Protein backbone atom coordinates (compact mmCIF):
# COMPACT_ATOMS: atom_id res chain seq x y z
CA UNK A 1 0.00 0.00 0.00
CA UNK A 2 1.29 3.43 -0.82
CA UNK A 3 1.54 5.29 2.45
CA UNK A 4 -0.02 8.72 2.53
CA UNK A 5 1.33 11.39 4.86
CA UNK A 6 -0.56 11.69 8.13
CA UNK A 7 -1.73 15.14 9.08
CA UNK A 8 -2.33 16.88 12.40
CA UNK A 9 -5.50 15.12 13.57
CA UNK A 10 -6.93 18.19 15.30
CA UNK A 11 -6.50 20.34 12.22
CA UNK A 12 -7.83 17.58 9.99
CA UNK A 13 -10.90 17.03 12.15
CA UNK A 14 -11.71 20.73 12.29
CA UNK A 15 -11.21 21.27 8.56
CA UNK A 16 -13.21 18.16 7.74
CA UNK A 17 -16.12 19.27 9.92
CA UNK A 18 -16.16 22.78 8.41
CA UNK A 19 -16.16 21.45 4.86
CA UNK A 20 -18.77 18.82 5.63
CA UNK A 21 -21.07 21.37 7.24
CA UNK A 22 -20.64 23.70 4.28
CA UNK A 23 -21.59 21.08 1.72
CA UNK A 24 -24.43 19.80 3.89
CA UNK A 25 -25.98 23.25 4.06
CA UNK A 26 -25.31 24.26 0.46
CA UNK A 27 -27.01 21.20 -0.99
CA UNK A 28 -29.67 21.02 1.73
CA UNK A 29 -28.81 17.36 2.16
CA UNK A 30 -30.92 16.89 5.28
CA UNK A 31 -34.00 17.72 3.21
CA UNK A 32 -33.01 14.96 0.79
CA UNK A 33 -32.84 12.47 3.65
CA UNK A 34 -29.09 12.44 4.18
CA UNK A 35 -27.96 11.75 7.73
CA UNK A 36 -24.62 11.58 9.49
CA UNK A 37 -23.34 9.92 12.62
CA UNK A 38 -20.04 11.02 14.05
CA UNK A 39 -17.95 8.07 15.21
CA UNK A 40 -15.06 10.17 16.49
CA UNK A 41 -13.59 13.53 15.44
CA UNK A 42 -11.98 11.99 12.36
CA UNK A 43 -14.73 9.62 11.25
CA UNK A 44 -18.35 9.95 10.28
CA UNK A 45 -20.89 7.60 8.74
CA UNK A 46 -23.03 9.31 6.14
CA UNK A 47 -26.37 7.88 5.08
CA UNK A 48 -26.83 8.53 1.37
CA UNK A 49 -30.33 7.96 0.02
CA UNK A 50 -29.85 6.34 -3.38
CA UNK A 51 -32.65 7.11 -5.80
CA UNK A 52 -33.96 4.37 -8.09
CA UNK A 53 -35.46 5.43 -11.42
CA UNK A 54 -38.88 4.46 -10.04
CA UNK A 55 -38.41 6.96 -7.23
CA UNK A 56 -37.73 4.28 -4.62
CA UNK A 57 -35.14 5.28 -2.03
CA UNK A 58 -32.42 2.83 -0.94
CA UNK A 59 -30.19 4.18 1.83
CA UNK A 60 -26.48 3.34 1.77
CA UNK A 61 -23.96 3.93 4.50
CA UNK A 62 -20.52 5.35 3.83
CA UNK A 63 -17.81 5.81 6.43
CA UNK A 64 -15.62 8.81 5.74
CA UNK A 65 -12.28 9.34 7.43
CA UNK A 66 -10.15 12.46 7.71
CA UNK A 67 -6.84 10.74 8.46
CA UNK A 68 -5.11 12.51 5.55
CA UNK A 69 -7.50 15.44 5.11
CA UNK A 70 -7.32 17.78 3.34
CA UNK A 71 -3.88 17.16 1.87
CA UNK A 72 -5.59 14.08 0.46
CA UNK A 73 -9.28 13.27 0.12
CA UNK A 74 -11.23 11.47 2.82
CA UNK A 75 -11.05 7.72 3.11
CA UNK A 76 -14.27 6.13 1.86
CA UNK A 77 -15.80 2.79 2.81
CA UNK A 78 -19.30 1.43 2.19
CA UNK A 79 -20.39 -0.14 5.47
CA UNK A 80 -23.22 -2.21 6.91
CA UNK A 81 -25.72 -0.53 9.25
CA UNK A 82 -24.97 -2.81 12.21
CA UNK A 83 -22.91 -2.48 15.38
CA UNK A 84 -19.40 -1.36 14.56
CA UNK A 85 -20.24 -0.38 10.97
CA UNK A 86 -18.33 -3.26 9.33
CA UNK A 87 -17.31 -3.15 5.70
CA UNK A 88 -20.12 -3.82 3.22
CA UNK A 89 -19.52 -6.59 0.72
CA UNK A 90 -20.62 -7.23 -2.84
CA UNK A 91 -23.54 -9.62 -3.04
CA UNK A 92 -25.29 -8.00 -0.08
CA UNK A 93 -27.98 -5.39 0.22
CA UNK A 94 -25.50 -2.77 1.37
CA UNK A 95 -23.51 -2.80 -1.84
CA UNK A 96 -24.96 -0.74 -4.69
CA UNK A 97 -25.25 -2.10 -8.20
CA UNK A 98 -24.47 0.56 -10.79
CA UNK A 99 -24.29 1.16 -14.48
CA UNK A 100 -21.14 3.04 -13.61
CA UNK A 101 -19.55 5.97 -15.42
CA UNK A 102 -16.04 5.55 -16.80
CA UNK A 103 -14.51 7.63 -14.02
CA UNK A 104 -15.57 5.40 -11.15
CA UNK A 105 -15.13 1.85 -9.98
CA UNK A 106 -16.47 0.00 -6.92
CA UNK A 107 -14.20 -2.92 -6.04
CA UNK A 108 -15.34 -5.32 -3.35
CA UNK A 109 -11.94 -6.85 -2.66
CA UNK A 110 -9.10 -4.97 -4.29
CA UNK A 111 -5.49 -6.06 -3.94
CA UNK A 112 -3.44 -3.22 -2.49
CA UNK A 113 0.29 -2.83 -3.16
CA UNK A 114 1.23 -4.40 0.18
CA UNK A 115 -0.66 -7.56 -0.72
CA UNK A 116 -3.63 -6.84 1.53
CA UNK A 117 -7.18 -6.88 0.21
CA UNK A 118 -9.86 -4.34 0.95
CA UNK A 119 -12.72 -2.46 -0.58
CA UNK A 120 -11.80 0.28 -3.06
CA UNK A 121 -14.16 3.07 -4.04
CA UNK A 122 -12.08 4.06 -7.00
CA UNK A 123 -12.08 7.64 -8.16
CA UNK A 124 -9.68 10.48 -7.55
CA UNK A 125 -11.72 12.01 -4.71
CA UNK A 126 -11.01 9.15 -2.28
CA UNK A 127 -7.79 8.63 -0.32
CA UNK A 128 -7.71 4.97 -1.28
CA UNK A 129 -7.31 5.92 -4.93
CA UNK A 130 -3.91 7.36 -4.04
CA UNK A 131 -3.00 4.33 -1.92
CA UNK A 132 -3.33 2.05 -4.91
CA UNK A 133 -0.89 3.63 -7.34
CA UNK A 134 -3.40 5.20 -9.67
CA UNK A 135 -2.10 7.91 -11.94
CA UNK A 136 -4.49 10.84 -12.25
CA UNK A 137 -3.85 13.59 -14.76
CA UNK A 138 -3.19 17.06 -13.30
CA UNK A 139 -6.84 18.07 -13.77
CA UNK A 140 -8.07 14.89 -12.09
CA UNK A 141 -5.79 15.02 -9.08
CA UNK A 142 -7.20 16.06 -5.71
CA UNK A 143 -5.94 19.59 -4.99
CA UNK A 144 -5.91 20.99 -1.49
CA UNK A 145 -7.75 24.32 -1.52
CA UNK A 146 -9.69 23.42 -4.65
CA UNK A 147 -11.37 20.22 -3.52
CA UNK A 148 -13.11 19.41 -0.27
CA UNK A 149 -15.19 16.51 0.98
CA UNK A 150 -17.91 18.04 -1.21
CA UNK A 151 -16.06 16.65 -4.22
CA UNK A 152 -16.24 13.16 -2.73
CA UNK A 153 -19.86 13.27 -1.64
CA UNK A 154 -21.14 15.00 -4.75
CA UNK A 155 -19.73 12.25 -6.98
CA UNK A 156 -21.24 9.56 -4.76
CA UNK A 157 -24.56 11.42 -4.84
CA UNK A 158 -24.36 11.56 -8.61
CA UNK A 159 -23.76 7.85 -9.16
CA UNK A 160 -26.38 6.82 -6.59
CA UNK A 161 -29.07 8.30 -8.80
CA UNK A 162 -30.36 7.66 -12.30
CA UNK A 163 -29.01 6.94 -14.82
CA UNK A 164 -26.23 5.14 -12.90
CA UNK A 165 -27.89 3.63 -9.84
CA UNK A 166 -29.77 0.35 -10.34
CA UNK A 167 -30.48 -1.48 -7.08
CA UNK A 168 -28.91 -3.14 -4.05
CA UNK A 169 -26.61 -5.98 -5.09
CA UNK A 170 -28.87 -8.34 -3.16
CA UNK A 171 -32.53 -7.76 -2.34
CA UNK A 172 -33.05 -6.35 1.13
CA UNK A 173 -35.54 -7.87 3.53
CA UNK A 174 -37.38 -4.62 4.07
CA UNK B 1 -39.54 47.19 -21.96
CA UNK B 2 -36.93 45.92 -19.57
CA UNK B 3 -36.82 42.16 -19.09
CA UNK B 4 -36.95 40.70 -15.63
CA UNK B 5 -33.62 39.21 -14.70
CA UNK B 6 -33.21 35.47 -14.44
CA UNK B 7 -31.31 33.94 -11.54
CA UNK B 8 -28.99 30.98 -12.06
CA UNK B 9 -27.86 29.07 -8.97
CA UNK B 10 -24.44 27.49 -9.46
CA UNK B 11 -23.15 24.85 -7.05
CA UNK B 12 -19.44 24.16 -7.08
CA UNK B 13 -19.46 20.43 -6.43
CA UNK B 14 -15.71 20.47 -5.82
CA UNK B 15 -15.85 22.59 -2.68
CA UNK B 16 -19.49 23.14 -1.75
CA UNK B 17 -19.59 26.83 -2.62
CA UNK B 18 -22.73 28.32 -4.12
CA UNK B 19 -23.08 31.36 -6.31
CA UNK B 20 -26.16 33.17 -7.59
CA UNK B 21 -25.83 34.83 -10.98
CA UNK B 22 -28.37 37.27 -12.33
CA UNK B 23 -28.60 37.51 -16.09
CA UNK B 24 -30.78 39.02 -18.74
CA UNK B 25 -33.11 36.55 -20.49
CA UNK B 26 -31.48 37.54 -23.76
CA UNK B 27 -27.99 36.77 -22.50
CA UNK B 28 -26.32 33.74 -23.93
CA UNK B 29 -25.71 30.72 -21.74
CA UNK B 30 -22.01 31.13 -22.49
CA UNK B 31 -22.05 34.50 -20.73
CA UNK B 32 -23.50 32.95 -17.59
CA UNK B 33 -20.95 30.16 -17.71
CA UNK B 34 -18.16 32.75 -17.94
CA UNK B 35 -19.66 34.63 -14.99
CA UNK B 36 -19.77 31.39 -13.00
CA UNK B 37 -16.08 30.70 -13.55
CA UNK B 38 -15.30 34.24 -12.48
CA UNK B 39 -17.41 33.95 -9.33
CA UNK B 40 -15.70 30.69 -8.43
CA UNK B 41 -12.26 32.14 -9.26
CA UNK B 42 -11.57 29.29 -11.66
CA UNK B 43 -10.26 28.94 -15.17
CA UNK B 44 -11.93 26.46 -17.52
CA UNK B 45 -10.01 23.18 -17.70
CA UNK B 46 -10.24 19.94 -19.62
CA UNK B 47 -12.74 17.57 -18.08
CA UNK B 48 -14.90 20.24 -16.44
CA UNK B 49 -18.54 19.29 -16.26
CA UNK B 50 -21.58 21.53 -15.79
CA UNK B 51 -24.94 19.85 -15.40
CA UNK B 52 -28.51 20.95 -14.88
CA UNK B 53 -29.39 19.67 -11.40
CA UNK B 54 -32.89 18.54 -12.34
CA UNK B 55 -32.04 16.67 -15.53
CA UNK B 56 -28.31 16.04 -15.58
CA UNK B 57 -28.22 17.71 -18.98
CA UNK B 58 -24.86 19.11 -20.10
CA UNK B 59 -25.03 22.91 -19.86
CA UNK B 60 -21.94 23.44 -22.03
CA UNK B 61 -23.85 21.98 -24.97
CA UNK B 62 -26.20 24.96 -24.84
CA UNK B 63 -23.61 27.73 -24.73
CA UNK B 64 -24.93 29.38 -27.87
CA UNK B 65 -28.56 29.48 -26.76
CA UNK B 66 -30.19 32.46 -25.11
CA UNK B 67 -30.84 31.91 -21.43
CA UNK B 68 -34.61 32.26 -21.56
CA UNK B 69 -34.95 29.73 -24.39
CA UNK B 70 -32.56 27.37 -22.63
CA UNK B 71 -34.53 27.63 -19.40
CA UNK B 72 -37.84 26.94 -21.11
CA UNK B 73 -36.66 23.71 -22.71
CA UNK B 74 -33.72 22.29 -20.80
CA UNK B 75 -33.47 23.47 -17.21
CA UNK B 76 -36.48 25.21 -15.78
CA UNK B 77 -35.09 25.73 -12.29
CA UNK B 78 -31.75 27.05 -13.54
CA UNK B 79 -29.76 25.19 -10.89
CA UNK B 80 -26.40 24.10 -12.21
CA UNK B 81 -23.79 21.74 -10.80
CA UNK B 82 -20.15 22.41 -11.63
CA UNK B 83 -17.50 19.77 -11.12
CA UNK B 84 -13.98 19.48 -12.41
CA UNK B 85 -12.44 16.36 -13.88
CA UNK B 86 -11.95 13.22 -11.86
CA UNK B 87 -10.05 10.03 -12.53
CA UNK B 88 -11.30 6.55 -12.01
CA UNK B 89 -10.93 2.90 -12.66
CA UNK B 90 -10.40 3.07 -16.39
CA UNK B 91 -7.90 5.92 -16.45
Print the SS3 string covering A77-117.
EEECCCCCCCECCCCCCCCEEECCCCCCEEEEEEECCCCCE
In A, which residues are within 8 Å of B90 by CB distance? 102-103, 105
Residue A87 has pLDDT above 90, yes or no: yes
Handedness of CA A124, A128, A131, A132 (dihedral sign): negative
Closest-CA residue of A relative to B40 is: A146
Torsions phi, psi of A42, nearest 5? -105, -5
Share of chain A above pLDDT 70, in %: 99
Residue pLDDT, tens place only, A61-80? 999 999 999 999 999 999 99
Question: Which 18-57 residues of chain A touch chain B by CB within 8 A?
Answer: 19, 22-23, 26-27
What distance in Å separates the CA atoms of residue A71 and residue A147, rounded to the nearest whole number?
10
For the segment B30-51, the average pLDDT, to the nearest whole number, is: 97
Q: What is the pLDDT of residue A8?
A: 97
Q: For residue A85, is pLDDT > 90?
A: yes
Is the full-model pTM beyond 0.90?
Answer: yes
Q: pLDDT confidence of A133, banded at 50, 70, 90?
A: confident
For residue A149, give the chain B residue with the closest CA.
B15
Say how far apart CA A115 and CA A117 lie, in whole Å.
7
* Rounded Cα gap, residues B68 and B65, in angstroms: 8
Measured between alpha carbons, how far is residue A144 from residues A9, A155, B15, B74 in Å?
A: 16, 17, 10, 34
B21 or B3, higher pLDDT: B21
B74-85 mean pLDDT: 97
- Residue A113 clears pLDDT 90, i.e. is over it: no
Q: Is A127 left (phi over 0), alpha (psi -120 to 50) or beta?
A: alpha
d(Cα A26, Cα A157) in Å, to the nearest integer? Answer: 14
Which residues in chain B have Cβ-Cβ distances shorter than 8 Å to A123?
86-89
A156 pLDDT above the threshold of 70: yes
Q: Where are the beta strands (DSSP E) in A112-164?
A: 117-122
Q: Summarize pLDDT for A2-36 with one digit per residue, the tens.
A: 789 989 999 999 999 999 999 999 999 999 999 99
The nearest alpha carbon in chain B to A155 belongs to B13
pLDDT at res. B43: 96
pLDDT of residue B72: 97
Q: Does A138 score more than 80 pLDDT?
A: yes
Contact A75, A94 (CB under 8 A): no
> How confident is the model at residue B91, as a pLDDT?
40
Amino acid sequence: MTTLPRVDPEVAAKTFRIHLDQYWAARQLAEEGWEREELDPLHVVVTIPAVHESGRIDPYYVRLGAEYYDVYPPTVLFVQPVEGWPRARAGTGWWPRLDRPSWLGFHDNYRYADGSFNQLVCFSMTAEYYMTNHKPTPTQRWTQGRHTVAATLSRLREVLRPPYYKEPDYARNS
Amino acid sequence: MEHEKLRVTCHNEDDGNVSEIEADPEDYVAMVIAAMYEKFHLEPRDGDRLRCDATGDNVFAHSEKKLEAYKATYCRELVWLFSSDQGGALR
